[in-house]
Each structure stands twice: as C-alpha cells, then as structure tokens.
Amino acid sequence: MYPAFDHILIQVPDLETAIAEYSTLLPAPQTGNFSLANVNLQLGQVDDVAAPRIARLALLDPQLDTGISRPLPGGPRDIPLARAHSREPAYRKPSSTSGIYAVDHLVLQSGDADACVRLFRDQLGLRLALDQEVPEWGGRMLFFRHGKMTLEVIQNRKQPPSRDFFWGITYLCHDIDQTLATLDEFGVQHSPVRKGRKPGTRVSTLKSHCLGLPTLLISP
C-alpha cells in the first residue's frame, strides 16, 4: 500500500533559523526540505508554535500527484499521520559534509502499544520487527521497520502521555568519529561516543544545532 515513508514534518517558530541549524547537520536543503536516503525532512513555520516539534509522519503514496499531501487517520490515539508524494521510494545516496545520510529511527511516545500495533501493522502494513517488554523502566517497545527506516514506539506504563506524540530522531552516519570531528569544526555540541543499544553500533547525543529536539547519531 505504502512502499516507504515520505517525510517527517517539523514545525518551527522561525524557519530561517531552523534551516540554518539543520544545514549544519544534513545535506543541503531546497526551500526547507532536506532529502535524505530514506525519507525527507520538511520544516514548516507556524507562528503559534513556541518551540520546534515533530508534527507529523507521512507515508509515501505514489498514486498522489507529486507535491500533494493528504491527512491519514491516526487511529484511536489520533497520531498525526499523512500520506504524501514528495519523493520516490528508491533509496538514495545523498552527499553531506557531515556524513549524516539517513534517518535510522523516529521515536513515538504512546499510551497504548496495542493500539499502535493495530494501526501501523494491521491497517497500514508496516512490519513489526520487534515487540519487547522493558521491565527495568516499566515499559514496552515496538519497532516497525518500513522502507529502510524504523518507527520506534515507546509505551511507558508508569507515566503514559495523555496524547501520543513524536519525540525524537536518530540519524545514521557512515563514520561517527569523522562526523563528530566535522561537527566540532562547526561548533556543534555533543556527548562523547558510547556503545549503542544495538550490538556493534556507536552513538552520540547532539546537544546543539538540532532544533532542541532529542537527537542521536548512530553508526556501525
């Protein structure tokens, strides 16, 4: 039905400032649109937004005319979704100064993991790659793999959100040491490199130039 993800929409109070920040990290944009290997990042200015937020996830619908976007029902949790056609499903190889080339995963905070399974797997056809309990913090994690990108759903039973929301982004880079060395030259603040949760990976948390959104870098 939907061969891949199309775009992630980030609403910002100041588009010019947001484009300048993200241009430090990502391949060169076109009018606020950053085209990565597996998904587009779209920035949109909204005057009544106090801080940047991940406002919507869109699935690619090639049957729509290019540039068109339509709302997609978000199930009982009213998750902000759309179907759109701003890119083609083929995996790209974008060139970026930083070496960041794709979105590894997008995180959704949810109050009902079962509702997310019914929505994303049963209705929208995303592959549920992993469903696991995390007893150390009283939660459940779902990983939906689709079009070489993962949607990670976190359900915290102790402090469930009243409304589901997209929380953070993890970007892929070819060589995290080289990427961080480049970002250091641009004055980007980040944590030291550490082992990732996935075996064989290394990660770093960005602390600036990421629109204030929880942002992680990951590489083999």
Residues 103-123 have pLDDT tens digits of 999 999 999 999 999 999 999
Class of domain 5-88+98-219 as given by CATH: alpha beta
Residues 40-87 have pLDDT tens digits of 999 999 999 999 999 999 999 999 999 999 999 999 999 999 999 999
Degrees, nearest 5: CA angle 90-209-50:
100
Q: Where are the domains of the chain?
A: 5-88+98-219
pLDDT for the residue 136: 80
| Alpha carbon distances (Å) from 38 to 34, 112, 145 | 11, 27, 12
**Nearest alpha-carbon partner for 178 in 94, 95, 104, 98:** 98
